[in-house]
Amino acid sequence: MNSKSPLLSRPGAVEAGGLDAGVASHYGEPLREQRALANGTAVVDLSHRGVVTVSGPDRLSWLNTLSSQQLTQLPPGQSTELLLLSVQGRIEFDARVVDDGGTTWLLVEGAEAAPLAEWLNRMKFMLRVEVADVSAEWAVLGSTRAVEEWSALTVWQDPWPHITPGGYAYSLVSEDQHPGLERPWFEYLVPAKDLEAAVREIAAAGRQLAGAWAAEALRIAAWRPRWGAETDDRTIPHELDLLRTAVHLSKGCYKGQETIARVHNLGHPPRRLVFLQLDGSQHTLPAAGSEVLAGDRKVGSVTSVSQHYEMGPVALAVIKRSVAADETLTVMDGDEPYTAAQELIVAPDAGHVVGRQTGFLRGTR
C-alpha cells in the first residue's frame, strides 16, 4: 500500500480518510473541484491505489482460469474487470485490468494489493508467470476525459455501465439511459517519481487537481460499486450489478462459478444495491455504515455517501431484496434520521432467468 501522496503538500489540501487515506479529500473548494472533474477539466490523485503486475507468456490464460472474466484473447490496450471469488461465490478481489502486450496490470484498492499478489503467487505452480506488487513504484491519476498529454501512458478505461461480452445487467434502466454514461472514467498509470511533474504538465494545459471526494460523488451518482465500500465478506457479484462488467457467464470453470450460475439462473441475490437521494435540509451527511430502515425494521446499511454538486446528498446502500421498490426509507446515523428516496440499481426480482419467456433484464451480449 502506498504512503501519503506528495500532492498532499499542495496549498489547501485536506487528507481524506477511510479507503482514500493518503490522498487529498479536496484542495479547499470541493464542489468546484467536483464540477471541474465532471466537466473533464480536472484530474484526481489516486496514488493510494494498489498496482499488481503479472508478466510472462502464460499470464492471460492463467488469470482466465482463476477469475470470473474471459481474458485469453484480451487485446493489448483493452480494459476490463475481473473478480476472484471464494468457493461460495463471494467477492475476494476486484481488479481493473489492462494488458500492454507484455504485462497485465491489475489496479486495485490499496488494501487489496499485497494480499492479491500473495494469493496469486501461491497459485502459480509451474506456469510461466511472474507476479509483483508494484504499488510503491506507480501512481494512479483519474479523469473523466482522456488526457492527450498522457497518451504514451498505460490507461484503464472503465467499461461501466456497458454490458460487456458475456455480461448481464440486473438494472431496470436500459444501457443507453444508465446514469453511469455521464461518468466516463480513465485511470492513468504514472511512475511515482514523475507524479508531481505529470500534474504540472496537465496544469499547464489548463486542468486542475480535484480531490478524492469529488471522484466519490461522481462514482456514487454513476451507481458504480467499489470494493471495500459496497462489499463485505458475504457479497456476491449479483447484489451489486457486477455481472454487467466483471463476469463472463459463458466462460470455462473457475472458483465460485457454481454460485454465479445457480443464483443467476435459478435463484435471487439476497441483497441488492440501491441509490439513495437523501433529504438535504439537515445540511449534514450520515456516515457510511449508518443503518437503513423500512419503518422500524433494519433492512440494510449505507455503504458510500457524498455531497453531489447538482443532486445534493446522495448515497449507495445495500439492502434486503424483499424491500418494496417504492418504499421510502430512513437512514439513521445515531439518533439523526435522514429520509431517503430509493432508485433501483439491482431489481428486486433479479436473477432466476431460466424459464423466463419475457423480462426487463438485459441479457448477455
Say if 200 falls within a structural domain: yes
Distances (CA, A) of 200 to 139, 209, 291, 319: 15, 10, 43, 43
Q: Has residue 248 been placed in a domain?
A: no
* Shared domain check, 212 and 286: no
Chain-centre distance for alpha carbon 119: 21
Nine cell digits for residue 34: 467536483
Helix (H) / strand (E) element for 217: namely helix 212-221
Q: How many domains is the chain built from?
A: 2
- pLDDT at position 207: 96
Q: Classify residue 246: in a domain, yes or no.
A: no
Look-up of cell digits 491519476: 141
Cα 308 to Cα 40, 79, 248, 312, distances in angstroms:
16, 27, 33, 5
**Do 93 and 259 meet the contact criterion of CB atoms below 8 Å apart?**
no
CA distance 48 to 41: 22
Q: Helix axis angle, 212-221 relative to 30-38, nearest 10°?
A: 60
The verdict on 34 and 152 lying in the same domain is yes
Say whether both 35 and 108 belong to one domain: yes
The reply to whether 33 falls in a domain is yes
Residue 233 lies in a domain: no
The residue out of 186, 221, 256 marking a domain boundary is: 221
Q: What is the pLDDT of residue 322?
A: 94
Same-domain status, 57 and 203: yes
* Domain CATH for 335: 2.40.30.110
Q: Does 103 map to a domain? A: yes
Same domain, 129 and 63: yes
What integer pLDDT is reported at residue 259 of this predicted model?
96
Residue pair 36/210 in contact by the 8 Å Cβ criterion: yes
- Strand partners of residue 24: 15
Same domain (yes/no): 208, 287: no
Rounded to whole angstroms, the Cα distance separating 34 from 211 reads 8
Give yes or no for a contact between 168 and 360, defined as CB atoms under 8 angstroms apart: no
Distances (CA, A) of 78 to 56, 100, 113, 240, 318: 18, 9, 21, 23, 31
Rounded Cα–Cα distance for residues 63 and 47 (Å):
25
Residue with cell 448477455: 364
The reply to whether 64 and 202 lie within a common domain is yes
- The verdict on 305 and 192 lying in the same domain is no
Question: CB–CB of 275/314 below 8 Å?
Answer: yes
Burial class (CB in 10 A: 0-12, 13-18, 19+), 99: buried
Per-position DSSP letters for 114-127, written without gaps between them: HHHHHHHHHT-TTS
- At residue 114, the pLDDT reads 98
Q: The domain spanning residue 139 has which CATH number?
A: 3.30.1360.120
Among the candidates 189, 221, 253, a domain finishes at: 221
- The pLDDT of residue 355 is 56
Domain that holds residue 311: 271-345
Instruction: Count other C-beta atoms under 10 Å from residue 306's C-beta.
Output: 24
Beta bridge partners of 190: 139
- Report whether 80 contacts 159 (CB < 8 A): yes
90, 185: one domain: yes
Residue 259 lies in a domain: no
Does one domain contain both 121 and 211?
yes
Dist CA 234 CA 92 (whole Å): 10
* Cell numbers given for 294: 423500512
Q: Which of 205, 221, 237 is the last residue of a domain?
A: 221
Residues 175 and 288 grouped into a single domain: no
Q: Is residue 364 part of a domain?
A: no
Q: Are residues 173 and 114 in the same domain?
A: yes
pLDDT of residue 365: 40
List the chain pLDDT tens, one digit each, 365 residues.
558 999 999 999 999 999 999 999 999 999 999 999 999 999 999 999 999 999 999 999 999 999 999 999 999 999 999 999 999 999 999 999 999 999 999 999 999 999 999 999 999 988 999 999 999 999 999 999 999 999 999 999 999 999 999 999 999 899 999 999 999 999 999 999 999 999 999 999 999 999 999 999 999 999 999 999 999 999 999 999 999 999 999 998 999 999 999 999 999 999 999 999 999 888 899 999 999 999 999 999 999 999 999 999 999 999 999 999 999 999 999 999 999 999 999 999 999 998 554 444 444 44
Question: Model's pTM, two decimal places?
Answer: 0.95
